[in-house]
């Protein structure tokens, strides 16, 4: 019980310090009670980052910063592509059938309605990329992360913007084919 009291007091002090607490040490779940991280550190990436020290020349520090920035950008670009990949089938517009014959319709088909539960069900049998599995540690953590993303306030607007862009492109392609 004494260790719980000490932990509670330390947590209260860190919360009272607010963002200042983050300047001195890494604090997980500072403001989110009950939050459980689904990701693991990218140890391979962390091992590739170039360290600098206070005594390094400004040129060496700048080179290390540029190399680290490139490594981080490449890593997160790959991670983002791997994460977004299951959505591509839902955001891929339909092209008109090829050939010289008339089109079955002068207008492109409407996009199928999106269902969170159907999408999550479709992921059940999916073998996620090695990059996602390395980062999340398991298939179930990947699925839980997709579920969190679908329930986030950002998903609906992100998905709708992507779908509108795909439908606009589809309409232009069908108009050219007519």
Which pLDDT tens digit goes with each residue over 65-74?
999 999 999 9
Q: Which pLDDT belongs to residue 156?
A: 92
Mean pLDDT of 108-119: 84
Between 175 and 63, residue with greater pLDDT:
63
Q: What does 63-111 look like in DSSP terms, one character per residue?
A: HHHHHHHHHHHHHHHHHHHHHHGGGHHHHPPPPPPPSSSPPS-SSPPPP
At 54, is the pLDDT very low, low, confident or very high (cuts 50, 70, 90)?
A: confident
Read off the pLDDT of residues 142-151 as tens digits, 9 standing for 90 and up. 999 999 999 9
Burial of 146 (0-12, 13-18, 19+ CB in 10 A): buried
At 176, is the pLDDT very low, low, confident or very high (cuts 50, 70, 90)?
A: confident
pLDDT at 63 over 90: yes
Mean pLDDT of 90-111: 69
Read off the pLDDT of residues 153-163 as tens digits, 9 standing for 90 and up. 899 999 999 99
pLDDT at 121 over 90: yes
Between 44 and 17, residue with greater pLDDT:
44
At 141, is the pLDDT very low, low, confident or very high (cuts 50, 70, 90)?
A: very high
Average pLDDT over the chain, rounded to an integer: 83
What is the value of pTM for the model shown?
0.69
Q: Which pLDDT belongs to residue 111?
A: 76
pLDDT at 41 over 90: no
Between 90 and 155, residue with greater pLDDT:
155
């Amino acid at each position: 019980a004494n260790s719980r009291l000490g932990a509670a007091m330390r947590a209260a002090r860190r919360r009272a310090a607010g963002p200042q607490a983050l300047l001195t040490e890494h604090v997980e779940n500072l403001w989110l009670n009950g939050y459980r991280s689904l990701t693991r550190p990218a140890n391979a990436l962390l091992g590739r980052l170039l360290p600098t020290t206070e005594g390094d020349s400004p040129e060496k520090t700048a080179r290390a910063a540029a190399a680290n920035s490139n490594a981080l950008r490449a890593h997160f670009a790959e991670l983002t592509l791997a994460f977004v990949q299951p959505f591509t089938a839902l955001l891929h517009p339909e092209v008109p059938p090829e050939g010289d014959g008339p089109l079955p319709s002068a207008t492109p088909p409407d996009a199928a309605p999106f269902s969170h539960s159907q999408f999550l069900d479709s992921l059940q049998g999916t073998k996620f990329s090695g990059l996602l599995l390395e980062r999340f540690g398991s298939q179930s953590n990947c699925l839980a992360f997709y579920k969190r993303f679908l329930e986030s306030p950002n998903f609906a607007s992100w998905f709708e913007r992507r779908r509108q862009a795909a439908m606009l492109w589809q309409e232009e392609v069908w108009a050219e084919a007519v």
